[in-house]
Amino acid sequence: MTDGGTPGTRQVTLTATDEGVVVVGRWTLLVRKRTFTMPTTITMTVTDAEAMDVHFEVSPPEANNFKQSVIVSANVSDVPDFDYWGQTMLYWNGDWKKAPSASSHANQQNVIGHFVSLSDCMVGPAGGSKVIAE
């Protein structure tokens, strides 16, 4: 039985020519055609529907090097007084780092990042050199 919301985990397998959209909680992954070099399975996981972070697993690991970027977005329309100037998309690379192509959009009420490989992402402070994840 389901409560009608998005699940905490979704898994998709796409071929090199497939495109797709995967939604888990507030997070959306958009994959365009001809992104992958081989059949690729992506698993997205959040701890709950309001989670400000998302975990990605890409299998096989060598598939996590895309021919073009995928778009990861976080819908923040339900976050009271969200600071679009002070928040951005971060990704995990041994430490939380600002995604180079991240942007916050008040008119779309989301934060997005473009990635040519996937790792865990979160919405967090745009400034400063150190970000602490809870």
The answer to whether 67 touches 37, Cβ cutoff 8 Å, is yes
Query: What CATH number is given to the structural domain containing 93?
Result: 2.60.220.30
pLDDT tens, residue order, the chain (134 aa): 344 556 799 999 999 999 999 999 999 999 999 999 999 999 999 999 899 999 999 999 999 999 999 999 999 999 999 999 999 999 999 999 999 889 999 999 999 999 999 999 999 998 743 333 33
Q: How many domains does the structure of the chain reveal?
A: 1
The answer to whether 105 touches 90, Cβ cutoff 8 Å, is no
Phi, psi angle pair for 27, to nearest 5°: -100, 140
Does 125 sit behind a cis peptide bond, omega within 30 degrees of 0 on the bond before it?
A: no
Q: What is the pLDDT of residue 134?
A: 33
Q: Which two tokens stand for residue 84?
A: 């679009």
User: 131 in a domain, yes or no?
Assistant: no
Owning domain of residue 21: 9-125
pTM: 0.88
User: 28 in a domain, yes or no?
Assistant: yes
**In this structure, which amino acid lies at residue 120?**
D
